[in-house]
Amino acid sequence: MALSASSPAQPKGATGCIVLADGTVIWGRGFGAEGSAVGEVCFNTAMTGYQEVMTDPSYAAQIVTFTFPHIGNVGANPEDVESRVESAVGCVVREDVTEPSNFRSLERFTEWMEAAGKIGLSGVDTRALTRRIRMTGAPNAVIAHDPDGKFDIPALVGRAREWAGLEGMDLASRVSREKREEWTGGHWRLGFGYGEATSEKPHVVAVDYGSKDNIFRNLVRAGAKVTVVPAKATFEEIMELAPDGVFLSNGPGDPAATGEYAVPVIRQLLEADVPIFGICLGHQMLAIAAGAKTVKMHQGHRGANHPVQRVAFEEGGGWGETSGLVEITSMNHGFAVDAATLPPEVEQTHVSLFDGTNCGIAIKGKRAFGVQYHPEASPGPQDSFYLFEKFVGGLG
């Protein structure tokens, strides 16, 4: 059951489909939850960590196409869940999900998808779908699963067309914590599970725009005490906690939309000379707070194999000794900081070697920096863990 350029007759045995806003229907075999869900179709090139990908809040309102053909092989378990809030609504895979083969597996991926309310579609020519996204951009679509194979295609097309899309959409407020939380979990080790936080200083206040749990574990691993606050926490609420530094998390949606309430707070933190470290959405809003702009990308960056180079900038910025080195990073973003709009007081510290887009900034005269990628990985390489140590170690 391969990608079709139009809306063909439903093949025998098709129990799922993905319907694009232009009317294209892609048939397959449904798994996981039954029903339908609307979102933007993207693709992820990671070969491992599908459960972590599917529970990353940065994927809220998105349908993930996995380019790696074998998804679900190692099953699922509670330890690999990165967040229990809204995240990806569904996924598209090439091969049918097989019986799991891994000593950590506690249930089949299909069972976990069903319990999590996420829709899966297998038997799809994911290479063709990925090429379509690369050529024409990430489309709006509806993914649907009905074991009886009954679908109202015109209604699904209409729903995909009516959905407004991610541009201009604030999703951080939907996926953020509703109240303050003292983080207690430490780094995971095989055979031991997650450790406990023990430090009392330095104190990092992390703003949750749609965070992954591994972010906080890495802050703890670097030696910090972590308090997590909601996305709409005010400057006064943050400062009442007497932070030694503030962390701005990843998250979904349009940074300009979330920035309507988040950027004024970040600007106040900058004026107060509070040390700041932002990643992904947090990085984008830090850039906006400093005077830059963000743009919607054609296809986005999503995967665990993205090369990023540290580039030289003025002495005193803290990166000169490592300029030119390349990190292989984990990424998940559909918006980017427009490097051409960076004001003179903001230096570009990292760039993508795939397309040259901005992947890092530092603000002159301030203890504030950000990166576009996910240094906490989960899934992905560990090349960028040093950023947590750089941030926490600089808090004194």
Q: pLDDT tens, 116-167?
A: 999 999 999 999 999 999 999 999 999 999 999 999 999 999 999 999 999 9
Of 40, 52, 347, 376, the catalytic one is 376
Q: What percent of the chain has pLDDT over 90?
A: 90
Active site residue 374: yes
What is the CATH code for 172-393? Answer: 3.40.50.880
> How does strand 35-44 pair with strand 140-145?
antiparallel
Instruction: Supply the pTM of this predicted model.
Output: 0.95
Q: Which fold has domain 16-162?
A: Glucose Oxidase; domain 1 (3.50.30)
3-class SS letters over 283-346: HHHHHHHCCCCEEEEEEEEEEEEEEEEECCCCCCCCCHHHCCCEEEEEEEEEEEECHHHCCCCE
Of 17, 42, 91, 280, the catalytic one is 280
- What CA–CA distance (Å, rounded) separates 156 from 283? 36
Domain range summary for the chain, segments of one domain joined by +: 16-162, 172-393
The per-residue pLDDT for 322 is 65
Across the chain, mean pLDDT equals 94
The per-residue pLDDT for 198 is 84
Active site residue 42: no
For residue 26, give every residue at least 6 positions away whose Cβ sits within 8 Å of its Cβ, in sequence order, or none: 3, 4, 17, 18, 19, 20, 92, 121, 124, 129
Question: What are the C-alpha distances in Å from 35 to residues 56, 120, 148, 163, 258?
Answer: 21, 10, 11, 17, 29
Q: Which residues in the chain come in under a pLDDT of 50?
A: 1-5, 314-317
Active site residue 280: yes
Dump pLDDT digits (tens) for 223-261. 999 999 999 999 999 999 999 999 999 999 999 999 999
